[in-house]
Amino acid sequence: MTGTAAKIKHTGSSNEAGSPCYRCQEQKSAAGRAPVRIRIAVFFDGTLNNRTNTGLGEKGINRGVSYENALTNVAILELYYQQNPEYDHSLSIYIEGIGTEDDEADSSITAGTGWGSTGILDKVETGMTKVIGEISKHLKRDQEIECLHLDCFGFSRGAAAARNFIYSVLFGQQNTLKLRLQSSTHYVGEIKVKFVGLYDTVASYGLNHRNDTEELHLDAIRYAENVVQLAAAEEHRKHFPLTNINSAPHGVQLFLPGAHSDIGGGYPDNMDEVDHQIMFVCRRHGLKAADKAALAREREWLLASGWYYEDEIQKVDQWDEVKVTRKGISNHFHRIPLKMMAELATENGVHFSAGLMSDFSIHHHLKEIEAFIRESPLDSPEYWLALNTDMIKKFRHDHLHFSACFGSTLGCNQPQFTDDDIVHGHRKREIIYG
């Protein structure tokens, strides 16, 4: 495979997934049972994403956004997780997204802050508890664990949870995973984090997002053997800063076209954007020349980039705004980052059933885009932002979502402009070290 796969081959560790652990595999425990080798993958879903609630939503039940969303790539990957024959047990655990519980109303406060009983830290603790529970379910009392190898996947705040989970496993204040397992009668010889697969990490924890890496230990990915992050090149909401993976010694970050949930999944198919307030300069009566120029600039950029057609853009001067309407946006593009993550994870010892590729095959009208992506430089968002070919313009219009807008959900989706200057700045996402 050219392109993407080639870009990550250098990240391989000398300790491969199937290599022996430090403790002898033939060693018998005190109870006479051979120690076991375990590999567990933990999948943390994104904010207001919940696989159970998506299913209930398809039956007409609606208690919030998580009931309206489609399945994310993290939720799909867990469904197709498969046994690795190099291990005695291969287990997977799905953790529902921040702000959600199965068959319960969503929490708007937690969705906005990441705090609370369905927040990031509580989902991490749920993950720890479920890992211990799954191991205890498959092992007999006092049976030793020769090695426990972990893979962590996450999307959005779920990606932040996956990164914090690594810290909690290795250094947790409420005891490490090894100590907690040993207290439940299972001696553990070795714990390693083998692979971390992240979709567009957005921690946005609390009210001050500048210290998220320190507060949530998002740089714990430094302890993983290999890290991959697929990031959204065309996301630019103010409250959706990307946390990069620069702390990972063996990692690769790939920028793909589209917004946050174009990469991580979750958009319903054939979605409409109706009267989206793309540009809002001011509330005072009458526009200055610079304000008018900003409105005109935004309108021309939307056209030149292919986001909207002429008849889909409405400029309303008396309210100093540009509104847009676009209908029937396909959600099929998410299958490309789904496939890419599955391939990269497989190279690092995570197995998925063949049904994943057949059930979520790339539609024929996206084959050209997939090939183009795989041969493109993916190390920077600027590459995609500058592309305005006819192929890319049609692709943007038909398949990608414009996530940033004013006048919705208490401003959480408002765009980020350089220097916080709507009139003279340009749209640009903030990227935080992590």
| DSSP track, 359-394 | HTPPPGGGHHHHHHHHTS--S-THHHHT---HHHHH
In the sheet that holds 271-280, the strands lie side by side as 271-280, 321-329, 313-316
Angle at 397 between CA 292 and CA 421, to 5 degrees: 30
Helix (H), strand (E) at residue 138: helix 120-138
Show me where the domains of the chain are located. Answer: 4-269+330-387, 273-328+401-429
Looking at residue 286, its pLDDT comes to 54
Decide: 188 and 139 in contact? Cβ < 8 Å. Answer: no
State CA 403 to chain mean position distance: 15
The pLDDT of residue 13: 34
The percentage of the chain sitting over the pLDDT mark of 90, rounded to a whole number, equals 75
Instruction: Say how many residues make up the chain.
Output: 434
Q: What is the CATH number of domain 4-269+330-387?
A: 3.40.50
Does residue 290 register a pLDDT over 90?
no
Question: How confident is the model over 131-185, as pLDDT tens digits?
Answer: 999 999 999 989 999 999 999 999 999 999 999 999 999 998 778 999 999 888 8
| 129 φ/ψ angles, rounded to the nearest 5 degrees | -60, -40
Q: How far apart are CA 407 and CA 234, in angstroms?
A: 20
Q: Would the pLDDT of 20 be above 50? A: no
* Dist. CA 294–CA 382, nearest whole Å: 21
What separation in angstroms does the CA of 12 have from each of 148, 189, 228, 340, 352? Answer: 19, 23, 12, 17, 19
- Tell me the pLDDT tens digit for each residue of 403-427: 988 876 656 888 888 888 787 888 9
Task: Give yes or no for a contact between 267 and 334, defined as CB atoms under 8 angstroms apart.
Answer: yes
The model's pTM is 0.91
